[in-house]
Structure 1
């Protein structure tokens, strides 16, 4: 499965509203997990088996807790049994399809 998630604290007390320190703590948990992952400006994607992916998301959420009084967590999952390497594979197929349309 691939899960895309976004986790951020609120009630941080920061005047600029920035949550980058909290997000960095969550991303470190994901990267340290050893599972395939990517982070963009809005979401972190992680690939693996259901239990291991959700364990990492839980630990990433817990890493954000010290940074605020509340936590917002958004998760979107693509569950496709029997497939691995889809974090990259889906993009390869997409780019090929775009290329075919441009030709």
Structure 2
């Protein structure tokens, strides 16, 4: 399964008081560090971190990442989207590769019209 998630702290904590600008980059860094240490395939962009694995292992990583962010505020917001497709793996890159191939095919087709 693939799980894309975004975690952000809210409220106050000693750590959030040290950051008067309100940026959440330190909290996000803590969450991404948990994901990377998990050893599961993952990618992070400006909005979400996506992780691939079996249900229990992925959800355990999301839980630990959420706990890491919890140190930065009295509340945590978690947005999660999952693609559950039993029997498939390497979809973190496979889905993107298939999309890029489809774009190239469309561009080639449009070039011959």
Q: TM-score category by the smaller chain?
A: over 0.9
Unaligned runs of 5+ in 2: 109-113
Shift of 1:16: 1.2
TM-score normalised over the length of structure 2: 0.88
- In the alignment, does 2:102 pair up with 1:97? yes
**Using the alignment, how far apart are the partners of 1:25 and 1:89 within structure 2?**
27
- In the alignment, does 2:52 pair up with 1:47? yes
TM-score normalised over the length of structure 1: 0.97
CA RMSD of aligned residues (A): 0.8
Partner of 1:4: 4
* 1:82 aligned residue (78, 87, 94): 87
Give matches, 1:24-35, under 5 Å.
24-35=29-40
Aligned length: 103
Give the ranges of 4+ consecutive aligned residues of structure 1 lying more than 4 Å apart after TM superposition: none
Q: Which has the larger radius of gyration?
A: 2
